[in-house]
Structure 1
Amino acid sequence: MRVFVAGATGAVGSLLVPMVVEAGHEVTGTSRSLAGRERIRSLAATGMQVDSLDAESLRHAVCAAAPEVVIHQLTDLSGADGAANGRMRREGTRNLVEAAKAAGVSRIVAQSISWAYAPGEGPAEEVVPLDSAAAQPRARMVSAVRTLEETAAELETAVLLRYGLLYGPGTWYASGGAFAAALAGDPSARFLGSTVANDAVSSFVHVADAAGAALAALDWPDGPVNIVDDEPAPAHKWLPALAKTLGVPAPSPVAGRQEWERGALNALARSRGWQPQWSTWRTGFAAQRDIS
């Protein structure tokens, strides 16, 4: 199968490309930088230097690759700029879908998130709607996610991977990353998440398991699917464990959470055969320490 990976040098994409190649597919990947293009080529894939916010360049790249499926792993998180990432979700996704249409592609696997669900008790399944009543600034994020998913769904088959919080190599939660810097009190740390050890429930997924899900989703049915581990957990449980792994001090536990901070369930993904190597953040965090 010919596969086009948009965002092939990001935290997920850099692990995904060799997986897709090893599975026997013909892969074309994009990066905004020349160095990224060369990294893709070193993985036995075709690398293209493309800015996904440049609609014409992206259309040309996708049409030249003539893929059978497009994988959307586009983000703009390096500067911890929520507005820039929202623009990528809106404009980058629009450009990618229009390029796919021009190339005659009918299937897309798109990166979404699992913390945009409406408030409720207990972790969310995919039937829960997105949080249309959210106040700002959360409303801007949810709106961008909704736009991403609705735009992707213009293609005949759109598998929407609602990832949990990504940890592991290349993520904010890696050793030496933005989360550790924020916990350590670095005033220059740029991090969009929370460092409060409260009752807010989150779901995590190791970045390698996220990449594995994108590979598996090449032949999954249409629609959203949560890609999270088996243990949604409140911050007062997972945060001290991660802080210990990273070698930084953990904040004292406090009470309270927002009603939307509920985590998500992975039963649907597991029913399709996805089996995360790290089924819980407990072992995943420890493995991250051992790797580093």
Structure 2
Amino acid sequence: MHVFLAGGTGVLGRRIVPLLVAAGHTVTATTRDEAKVAMLRDLGATAVRADVYDAAALAAAVRESGADVVMHQLTDLSAGDFAANARVRVAGTRNLVDAALAAGVRRIVAQSISWMYEPGDVPAVEEIPLDLHAPEPRRTGVEAVAALETAVRELPEWVVLRYGLFYGTGTWFEPRGARAEAARSGALVADADVTSFVHVDDAATAAVQALAWPSGPVNVCDDEPAPGRDWLPAFCRAVGAPAPPESGAPRSRVARGADNHYARKHLGWTPEYASWRAGFAALA
């Protein structure tokens, strides 16, 4: 299979490329940075410089690649700019989907997130609607995710990977990451809000396996959604931060975590790190 990977040098892309190559796939991968072209080639991909906001150039790149499937792993969070990341989800996805449709590509696998579901008391399954009636500022993020997922559904075959919160090398949740710095400064508070995590290596494995999955959204997260009062002290220990301050505030019902039963039991995805407990310990 020939995969056109948009976002080949991101925290997931650079893990996904060698996995695809090892599985026997041909890979064309994009980057905006000329300095990263050599890295993609070293990983085994054909590198293409492409800006997702240049619709004509992107369409030409997809068409000329001759790809069978498009994989969308584009984000813009290196500077912590959530508005820029929302723009990628809306405008960038629109251009990528249009390019895939124009090239006759039938299948797309796209990165989404698992914490935009409607409020609830238990971890969300895929059938739960997105929280489109949320107040701002949450609504802007939910609407961007909804725009991405709606556009992706225009292809005949599509898989939306609703990832848990990433941790591991290159993410915000690692010893040199932004959340570790915040933990060491005492800025993170252990509260009752529930989070679902996924190690980035497990997230990359899911993306490759999704090439053969049936159309639909899939929660890609570990087995243990957990409140901050459980996971944050473990994260602090792993990154050499002091014990975090604690909050007695009740749990926000939008911070419910996500259920990975479908991916595990019906699609056969088995994360190496079944819980953040083992994953965080491996960071130390």
Give the TM-score taking structure 1 as reference length: 0.94
Q: Could you say which residue in structure 1 is the equivalent of 2:277?
A: 282
Q: Distance in 2 between matches of 1:129 and 1:197?
A: 28
Deviations 1:84-118 (A, max 9, x none): 00000001100100110111101000000000000
* 8 Å contact from structure 1 (residues 9, 40) kept in 2: yes
After superposition, the CA RMSD in angstroms is 1.1
Give the CA deviation at 1:129: 0.5
State the AA in 1 paired with 2:212: D
Give the CA deviation at 1:32: 1.1
- Tell me whether 1:197 sits opposite 2:202 in the alignment: no
Deviations 1:154-213 (A, max 9, x none): 111110000000000110001111001122339xxxxxxx82210000000000000000
* 8 Å contact from structure 1 (residues 36, 49) kept in 2: no
Percent identity over the alignment is 53
State the AA in 2 paired with 1:259: R
Counterpart secondary structure, 1:225 = strand
Q: Could you say which residue in structure 1 is the equivalent of 2:215?
A: 222
Q: Distance in 1 between matches of 2:86 and 2:227?
A: 26
Q: Distance in 2 between matches of 1:206 and 1:43?
A: 21
* 8 Å contact from structure 2 (residues 188, 245) kept in 1: no
State the AA in 2 paired with 1:282: R
Aligned pairs for 1:151-230 (under 5 A) are 151-185=151-185, 195-230=188-223
Aligned pairs for 1:6-45 (under 5 A) are 6-45=6-45
Q: Distance in 1 between matches of 2:233 and 2:143?
A: 32
- Tell me whether 1:257 sits opposite 2:257 in the alignment: no
Q: Distance in 2 between matches of 1:90 and 1:132?
A: 15
Q: Could you say which residue in structure 2 is the equivalent of 1:2?
A: 2
Counterpart secondary structure, 2:27 = strand
Give the CA deviation at 1:44: 1.3
Give the CA deviation at 1:81: 0.7
Q: Distance in 2 between matches of 1:196 and 1:117?
A: 23
Q: Could you say which residue in structure 2 is the equivalent of 1:107?
A: 107
Q: Which stretches in structure 2 are left out of the alignment for 5+ residues?
A: none
* 8 Å contact from structure 1 (residues 90, 147) kept in 2: yes
Q: Distance in 1 between matches of 2:278 and 2:163?
A: 18
Q: Could you say which residue in structure 2 is the equivalent of 1:268?
A: 262
Q: Distance in 1 between matches of 2:110 and 2:236?
A: 31
Q: Distance in 2 between matches of 1:46 and 1:247?
A: 40
Q: Distance in 2 between matches of 1:99 and 1:230?
A: 36
* 8 Å contact from structure 2 (residues 194, 228) kept in 1: yes
State how many pairs are aligned.
Answer: 282
Q: Distance in 1 between matches of 2:21 and 2:34?
A: 21
State the AA in 2 paired with 1:38: A
Q: Could you say which residue in structure 2 is the equivalent of 1:241?
A: 234
Counterpart secondary structure, 1:60 = helix
Q: Distance in 2 between matches of 1:253 and 1:156?
A: 48
Deviations 1:196-251 (A, max 9, x none): 21000000000000000000000101110000000000001100101110111232
Counterpart secondary structure, 2:47 = strand
* 8 Å contact from structure 1 (residues 165, 203) kept in 2: yes
Q: Could you say which residue in structure 1 is the equivalent of 2:63?
A: 63
Give the CA deviation at 1:48: 1.0
* 8 Å contact from structure 2 (residues 184, 236) kept in 1: no
Stretches (4+) displaced over 4 A: none
Counterpart secondary structure, 1:253 = coil
